[in-house]
């Protein structure tokens, strides 16, 4: 179910989702993180976008989201915990939007593609505990090594 949508200026080829109360919420990217398309640690995940910088359309779904269609270029699924406060931030280095969601364990799916020259990013928060990271749709820029790296440091 579509929860909300908004525009966000993406910069440094990343979109981040994190606990809004977290200190140093952005993650460092190692070569292995770049190859798999995301950098994850508890409370924070950064996804690699298709564009270096520019306006993106962000769609937020709660519960089962739409099935990936032929316009999806990249899709990645990771575990994510919405904190007790329920406040999650969706951000780039230069822009952000806060969301209030029910707290708990989720499977967070990032899907991205292009529509009318703009990157469209869908974030699906589906209640699920014990999920693992998975690259659902891999484009040619991703060259993951398995097991996927689920350990990032805060960006300095």
Q: Say if CB 78 and CB 38 are below 8 A apart.
A: yes
State pTM to two decimals.
0.95
pLDDT at 5: 97
Return d(Cα 27, Cα 44) in angstroms, integer: 7
Picking from 30, 3, 10, the residue whose alpha carbon sits closest to that of residue 90 is: 10
Sign of the CA dihedral 101, 75, 57, 13?
A: positive
pLDDT at 68: 72
In a domain? residue 58 = yes
Total number of domains in the chain: 1
Task: Please list the pLDDT of the chain residue by residue as tens digits (156 residues).
Answer: 889 999 999 999 999 999 999 999 999 999 999 999 999 999 999 999 999 999 999 999 999 877 777 789 999 999 999 999 999 999 999 999 999 999 999 999 999 998 778 999 999 999 999 999 999 999 999 999 999 999 999 998
In a domain? residue 83 = yes
In a domain? residue 98 = yes
Question: What is the pairing mode between strands 54-62 and 87-91?
Answer: unpaired
DSSP helix/strand/coil, 53: coil
In a domain? residue 76 = yes
The C-alpha angle with vertex 112 and arms to 4 and 39, in degrees rounded to 5, equals: 100
In a domain? residue 78 = yes
In a domain? residue 150 = no
Q: Is the peptide bond before 92 cis (omega within 30 degrees of 0)?
A: no
Task: Give first-to-last CA distance, the chain, whole Å.
Answer: 36
Question: What is the pairing mode between strands 72-82 and 104-115?
Answer: antiparallel
In a domain? residue 129 = yes
pLDDT at 3: 92
| CATH number where 61 lies | 2.60.34.30
In a domain? residue 143 = no
- Report, in angstroms and rounded to the nearest whole number, the Rg of the chain calculated over CA atoms: 14
The C-alpha angle with vertex 138 and arms to 82 and 144, in degrees rounded to 5, equals: 80
pLDDT at 69: 73
Q: Say if CB 10 and CB 51 are below 8 A apart.
A: yes
Domain span at residue 88 reads 2-137
């Amino acid at each position: 179910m579509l929860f909300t949508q908004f525009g966000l200026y993406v910069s440094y080829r990343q979109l981040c989702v994190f606990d809004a109360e977290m200190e140093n919420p952005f993650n460092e990217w190692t070569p292995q993180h770049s190859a798999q398309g995301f950098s994850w640690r508890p409370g924070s995940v950064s996804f690699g976008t298709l564009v270096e910088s520019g306006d993106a359309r962000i769609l937020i779904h709660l519960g089962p989201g739409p099935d990936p269609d032929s316009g999806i270029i990249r899709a990645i699924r990771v575990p994510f915990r919405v904190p007790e406060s329920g406040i999650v931030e969706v951000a780039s280095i230069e822009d952000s939007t806060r969301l209030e969601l029910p707290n708990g364990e989720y499977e967070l799916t990032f899907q991205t593609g292009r529509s009318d020259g703009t990157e469209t990013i869908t974030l699906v928060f589906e209640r699920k505990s014990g999920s693992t990271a998975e690259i659902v749709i891999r484009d040619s820029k991703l060259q993951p090594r398995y097991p996927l790296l689920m350990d990032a440091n805060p960006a300095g």
